[in-house]
Structure 1
Amino acid sequence: MSDTKSDSEEEVKRKKQKRLCVYRDQWENTFDFITKDSANAHRAFCKICRKGFSISHGGPDHQKLEKLSKKNQTLSMFLNRDILTTDDEKIIAAELVQVYHGAKHSIPYTTTDCNGKLCSVIFPDSKIANKISLGRTKASSIAFNVLAPASLEDIVNKLKDDIYFSISTDASNHGNIKLFPILVRFYTPDIGLRVALLDFYEDPNEKAVDIFTNLKTRLEGFDLKMDNISSYSADNCNVNFGIHHSVYQLLLKENPNILPAGCPAHLLHNTVKHSMQRCDFDVENLVLKVYGHLSYHSQRVQKLKEFFMDADLEYQNITRHVTTRWLSLYPAVEKLLGSLTVLQEYFLSLGDNCPVALLKYFDDDNIKKTECYLGFFHNTLRMFQDAILLLEKEEVLCCETFDIINGLRNKIKQRIDDEFLGFACSNAMKNLESEDKESTKKNLMLFYKNALKYLEDHFDFSDNNHLSVLRIFSLKSMFSFSELTEAASKLKLIDRLDMDKLYDEYCVIKDMLKSLIEEKQQSAPEKVLSAYEQWHKLFKSMKEAPGFLNIFQMMSSIPPSNSSTERVFSLCGNAWTDSRNKLSVEHVKAELQIKINFKIKCTEFYDFVLNNKNILKCAKSQNKYSFKKKP
């Protein structure tokens, strides 16, 4: 009996024993709301109710955890409200598209207050339209904190991948604010040639050291390497490209391989302006005076329209010319020349009320000379206009810049040799007296010579110019490996390339390039591929040419002109109007980044964001509101 009693006492004693168990990480796979208690390894911590509880009996108390789970089910669902359903995604995508459309077309955010309510009225049967909730605060927050950062994400990730890119900047005033954009240009085989707005900031200081400091600081803010900068593009002025102290010289200290990329389009504009200053006939003054006389006077315009009706001609508005705009003078001259007879009749009909400054152009003694000069400038300015338009194209490569400028130079030389002044000018000159004819012809030939001299003084036409050496990439004819080596040297890539491997790549690619060149020569003019399109076609089909790709990425990143920054200022003016004067610089930057960096049509943007879960999640999150962000 004693033995039996002893055994039962030991059994009871064993049952009453408890062991402390250590927290196991694998429990989090089953119960996602618990985690380890940092203060006690024998306790668990509930993330929902923010309380700890003990673990005993060799494992978790399943009944207790299950009860706790059910108790906090509603709270857990509330905390996980960012988990999107299909309907939620469509609603958010619709809101994103509305904001994107507004940013693309510079539509004020105040319209979203009405637009959201309007959609539910116009489309009462649509579940999505009835659930859209988009006011001005939400719309501006989505543009600033969601779409603008999203437009930069892929671009910055590409630039961090050790590819070459150029930086472009310029300065412009908006009222009393001095604004600077920072643009990058780069190439990858998957997305092609891209120009993107990296930053847009305000700074009253425009000294070389200030511009350089801003460039360096903001590039480092994106974790971009100065060593990957291929070139610096800016306006042709001393602060940017001065020999002793300039932005370019400061950049060279950071990266000695950076190439200068001025603005040939600006050079051509200055060539015309400089040559006109030495011309007896002030065509700019004529354009400005005629526009000033008619632009803000409805009665004068109405009277002019009657003269057009009497001449059985369609009325044409006189085009405004802005002296700092590269492309405004030619269309203004074209309109004047086409309406010259009607304009003469109108101004002579004014009698003593005709402005003296205009009468000297339109009276009977001078109208023939006016027609002669307008015919000359119409022919001459078209040459410069065509060259500038080519340089402004985004897909034009720097290897084509030399031929564009040199082609214009040759046209001017040919006109000097042939004494060709344009057909309209030559016809009008027949009506001049012999003395006036000789003086006019001499003056017009002097315009050609001044333009040629200015162009040759400010552009390097020698073979030593890196733009001349890079012409081989225009693919007008096949190039040799020695020419490729010289191009790599001008791009300062010799020390960064394995030249032996590059030769092997050249041997493989040579036949492919020959076939592309032959195909181009045999194609109809409207089907001819540009140099960029040919290279892009090659790199998309051929993956094993890293050396060639490095050279092309370096070369293609150099912009042919600084027109992209001028385009930013035009877009800024369209977005930052008097009716939207409460916009901050940061919000203008966000809209510009959306416009420039996203190359997607509004109709295609819905599918794009619907397939991009990160953008949808950010748009759903409360963090899109700056005032709700935690520091």
Structure 2
Amino acid sequence: MWLVRVVEVTAAELTQVYHTIKHNISFISADCGHKLNQKILHDSKIVKKMSVGRTKAEAMAKDVLAPKAVADVVDVLKSDKPLPFSIQIDASNKGNRKMFPLAVQYFRPEMGICNKMLDFGENADESAAGIIGFIEQSLDKFGLSLSQVTAYSADNTNVNYGIHNSVFTNLKKKQKDLLQGNCHAHIVHNTVKHALDQLTVDVENVVLKVYGHFSTSAKRRESLKDFCQFCDVEFHEILRHVSTRWLSLNPAISRLLQTWTALRSYFISLGEECPRQIRSLLKLSEASTEEDPDDVEVYLLFCNNILSLFEEVVKKLESDSTTCVEIYSIMSTFKQKLTQRRDDQFYGYLTKVKLQNILPHEADRARADFTAFFNTAISYIEKCDTERITSKLNLIQNVNMDDLYDECTTSNTILKRLKDNAEDEWKSKDVAASINWLCGKNLLTNKWSDSRNRSELLITLNFKQACSEFYSSCLKDKQLLLQEVHLQKKVDLTCSSTAHL
């Protein structure tokens, strides 16, 4: 009975730490909540024996749960028949430190596509040789072979995919069957950057300069609030746009449009004191009035309308469940929508209305700019698709097409039977492995800060169970419980030594 109670307490402590990390709770807050539960649930023998202070919780995360999170993934990849997997890497700055998370993706019939993190290390060398060295060192550390790697996915930068000396080209020399898994969200982002260059109004710079004007002065912000009240417009904070963030531009434009009447009146009222760059961007002169035609708003409305389409595509591409066979459909549909809007000269309903309120020659120039935007975007996407198809043709040369036909026939038969007869949970599984998943930088930022260590990032990404499910699995995992017991002894010895001092 005593042994059973120890097991339950140990499993409960591990689950408490897991719950804390899973739901982004600080260790101090979790410890306080646990002490409160001990007061409330005074009749619980398990809760009364639990002890999960900050020091112990951090040690459990680093020395027990994080190694377990990685070991489970390695065990799957190193099974009796080594499992093929793709690797994804994406450098991230943390102050003056360069962090490299190494993610893996593989497919299991009972679980579908699995996205896990294998390693998370610091590497100041951002060259192709430095990145390859980090990848090989990580794989060797876990006893994995580069021959198991089927694809390499990363940002579309020269260091990753350059023609002569890049991570991909050098890895392919060592693993000749390696596939290139480009980040299509990056392609969409680059498409926007190239297409915006065709517009007479520098919309991105308008957003940056207006935000910069108000972000440095509380007095200017209060003046804008007064103008919003005078113009009978609800005040909204100006949003910041970060040029390297794919989805930050359109929300910033939307926020400008919500207060545009007041914003324009504010800058007109400044007269000669209006910053010269903002005056040029907004096409204001010393004689400008609120009644003058405003073609800058037309461009903002157009961008607000069309960027919604780009946002929709990026969100689909960033989904963990998106597979390589779906990427072609997503990009093809995206290009069709752009082509249809160009051919129909559809720039958004509000844009159409505002075009009628500006000078005819300005309206004609705006329409020409919008058409150039569509042409540039479509051409850029077609260029990237052509390069991708060409690289795949080189792969086909090494494939026995007769054998491939037999495999496809067999696969189609199995898929049909699964679809017709399998349980509901099977119908929701992806049965094609994706090679285009990248570890999100937002997760990296939230889970690795001064108060959060890299162990928690591994735990968050690799464990998918609900907290109650995790507790049940802990009770059955003798090795994990044993590690926690040994850790408890170390913590007790440390605390005892500190107390003597």
TM-score (norm 1): 0.69
Corresponding residue to 1:182 among 90, 102, 123: 102
Which secondary structure does the structure 2 equivalent of 1:286 belong to?
helix
Post-superposition offset of 1:356: 3.9
Post-superposition offset of 1:123: 3.7
Tell me which residue corresponds to 1:259: 179
Which secondary structure does the structure 2 equivalent of 1:621 belong to?
helix
Following the alignment from structure 1 to structure 2, what is the Cα–Cα distance between the partners of residues 354 and 210?
49
Given that 1:406 and 1:461 are in contact with CA atoms closer than 8 Å, whether structure 2 keeps it comes out as: no
Given that 1:308 and 1:315 are in contact with CA atoms closer than 8 Å, whether structure 2 keeps it comes out as: yes
Query: Does residue 477 of structure 2 align to residue 612 of structure 1?
Result: yes
Corresponding residue to 2:307 among 366, 370, 381: 381
Q: 1:311 and 1:612, CA in 2 relative to 1: closer, same or farther beyond 3 A?
A: farther
Tell me which residue corresponds to 1:602: 467
**One-letter code aligned to 1:558:** I
Q: Which has the higher contact order (CA 8 A, sep 6+)?
A: 2
Q: 1:131 and 1:509, CA in 2 relative to 1: closer, same or farther beyond 3 A?
A: closer
**One-letter code aligned to 2:414:** I
Q: 1:310 and 1:105, CA in 2 relative to 1: closer, same or farther beyond 3 A?
A: farther
Tell me which residue corresponds to 1:457: 383
**One-letter code aligned to 1:211:** I
Which secondary structure does the structure 2 equivalent of 1:441 belong to?
helix
Following the alignment from structure 1 to structure 2, what is the Cα–Cα distance between the partners of residues 156 and 596?
14
Post-superposition offset of 1:510: 6.9
Query: Does residue 429 of structure 2 align to residue 536 of structure 1?
Result: yes
Given that 1:252 and 1:258 are in contact with CA atoms closer than 8 Å, whether structure 2 keeps it comes out as: yes
User: What is the correspondence of 1:20-35 to structure 2 with a 5 Å cutoff?
Assistant: none
User: What is the correspondence of 1:12-161 to structure 2 with a 5 Å cutoff?
Assistant: 85-111=3-29, 114-115=32-33, 117-161=35-79
Q: Larger C-alpha radius of gyration, 1 or 2?
A: 1
Post-superposition offset of 1:125: 3.5
Given that 2:92 and 2:98 are in contact with CA atoms closer than 8 Å, whether structure 1 keeps it comes out as: yes
Q: 1:388 and 1:628, CA in 2 relative to 1: closer, same or farther beyond 3 A?
A: farther
Post-superposition offset of 1:432: 1.1
Q: 1:418 and 1:499, CA in 2 relative to 1: closer, same or farther beyond 3 A?
A: closer
Given that 1:618 and 1:624 are in contact with CA atoms closer than 8 Å, whether structure 2 keeps it comes out as: no
Q: Give deviations 1:487-512, integer Å, cap 9, x for gaps.
A: xx7496649x9669737735743753
Post-superposition offset of 1:570: 1.9
Query: Does residue 410 of structure 2 align to residue 505 of structure 1?
Result: yes
Post-superposition offset of 1:301: 3.6
Unmatched tracts of structure 2, length 5 or more: 495-501
**One-letter code aligned to 1:573:** T
Following the alignment from structure 2 to structure 1, what is the Cα–Cα distance between the partners of residues 28 and 189?
40
Q: 1:226 and 1:461, CA in 2 relative to 1: closer, same or farther beyond 3 A?
A: closer
**One-letter code aligned to 2:16:** Q
Which secondary structure does the structure 1 equivalent of 2:294 belong to?
helix
TM-score (norm 2): 0.86
Post-superposition offset of 1:147: 0.7
CA RMSD in angstroms, aligned pairs only:
3.4
Tell me which residue corresponds to 1:275: 195
Tell me which residue corresponds to 1:573: 445
User: What is the correspondence of 1:282-301 to structure 2 with a 5 Å cutoff?
Assistant: 282-295=202-215, 297-301=217-221
Following the alignment from structure 2 to structure 1, what is the Cα–Cα distance between the partners of residues 63 and 112?
27
Which secondary structure does the structure 2 equivalent of 1:85 belong to?
helix
Q: Give deviations 1:282-302, integer Å, cap 9, x for gaps.
A: 111111222223335444444
Following the alignment from structure 1 to structure 2, what is the Cα–Cα distance between the partners of residues 151 and 121?
32
Post-superposition offset of 1:160: 1.5
User: What is the correspondence of 1:200-279 to structure 2 with a 5 Å cutoff?
Assistant: 200-279=120-199
* Number of residue pairs aligned between Structure 1 and Structure 2: 485
% identical aligned pairs: 36
Q: 1:124 and 1:294, CA in 2 relative to 1: closer, same or farther beyond 3 A?
A: farther
Tell me which residue corresponds to 1:397: 323
Q: 1:380 and 1:507, CA in 2 relative to 1: closer, same or farther beyond 3 A?
A: closer
Following the alignment from structure 1 to structure 2, what is the Cα–Cα distance between the partners of residues 394 and 182?
16
Post-superposition offset of 1:198: 0.4
Following the alignment from structure 2 to structure 1, what is the Cα–Cα distance between the partners of residues 138 and 388?
36
Following the alignment from structure 2 to structure 1, what is the Cα–Cα distance between the partners of residues 110 and 52?
35
Q: 1:624 and 1:509, CA in 2 relative to 1: closer, same or farther beyond 3 A?
A: farther
